[in-house]
Amino acid sequence: MSGRHPIGSLVLILALTFVGAVKELNSIKDLKKITSGDSVPRHSLVLLYWFANTIEIDNNGVILLTFEPNNGDYGTHHYGNYEGLLDPLPRRGVPHRYYTLGNLNQMDNQNSAYAFPAYVTQNLHNWMEYEERNRARIIFRVSGNTGRQAGQRIDQVYITQHFESNLGQGTRYDPAHTYSITTDLLREIREFTVRENQRNSLPQLRARFGRNIDDSHT
């Protein structure tokens, strides 16, 4: 221990503090608590709404992939978790991998069947500056090899955000504004969508959370 540099020890302690310390959101009520202020980008709610209605959830509560992240569907790409934001990947057994999505710069609705719908990418200029709205991300962890036909499992889901650009943190995610999303919350959002019907569910969520979600859900 005597040879360890104090700065290195502090970094290690902070990293260990962040791992496993992510707050869990289990219901729309929990979600409302964090979206009632300015703790998360407003676009996080739209991304989560889209994600909940894109993945599948079977009768056992297992979340199934409906797209291929390794092909870049919806702008998805590998997330290395190098800063130790989330739990380390298991070293044995079934392979696991983290992916992130939500970068609006990577969307091309005209040329890809696996790109975000218009309500995610359009009419956002009324909310905030582009840099601010593009901070929101979803991170998910896949268990097993990916592939649309395989129906692979997603065993962890998070909403997060990049640090504000003026903080000089580059493209790192903010651990203080990273939240674990449970299957129960995803299921509740899906049930809400069916109950209110697809055309009206976004305006209803806007009213529920006091956010200016785009009404043009197509």
Each of the 218 residues of the chain gets a pLDDT tens digit; together they read: 444 444 443 333 333 333 446 889 999 888 877 766 555 666 788 889 899 999 999 999 999 999 989 888 888 999 999 989 999 999 888 889 999 998 877 655 444 667 888 777 765 554 445 566 678 899 999 988 765 555 589 999 999 998 876 666 778 899 988 999 999 999 988 887 665 555 455 556 655 554 444 444 33
Strands (E), 55-205: 56-57, 63-64, 77-79, 96-101, 136-143, 153-161, 179-181
What tokens appear for 56 in the block?
């599948």
- Look at residue 133 in the predicted model and tell me its pLDDT: 66
- Look at residue 2 in the predicted model and tell me its pLDDT: 45
Interior/surface letters 36-71, b for 16+ CB within 10 angstroms, e for the rest? eeeebbbbbbbbbbbbbbbbebeeeeebebebbbee
| Domain containing residue 140 | 22-209
130 alpha carbon, distance to own chain's centre = 18
Contact indicator for 56, 187 with CB cutoff of 8 Å: no
- Which residue, among 185, 186, 153, has the nearest Cα to 65 in the 3D structure? 153
DSSP result, 192-215: HHHHH-TTTHHHHHHHHHT----S
Q: Judge whether 137 lies within some domain.
A: yes
Contact indicator for 40, 159 with CB cutoff of 8 Å: yes
- Look at residue 91 in the predicted model and tell me its pLDDT: 87
Contact indicator for 213, 189 with CB cutoff of 8 Å: no
Q: Judge whether 215 lies within some domain.
A: no
Q: Judge whether 7 lies within some domain.
A: no
pTM of the model: 0.76
Contact indicator for 74, 67 with CB cutoff of 8 Å: yes
Q: Judge whether 9 lies within some domain.
A: no
Q: Judge whether 202 lies within some domain.
A: yes
Other CB atoms within a 10 A radius of the CB of residue 147 amount to 14
Residue indicated by tokens 């502090």: 10
Q: Judge whether 2 lies within some domain.
A: no
What tokens appear for 133 in the block?
């709205």
Query: What is the number of structural domains in the chain?
Result: 1
Number of residues that this document lists for the chain:
218
- Look at residue 159 in the predicted model and tell me its pLDDT: 94
Q: Judge whether 69 lies within some domain.
A: yes
Q: Judge whether 3 lies within some domain.
A: no
Residue type, 150: A
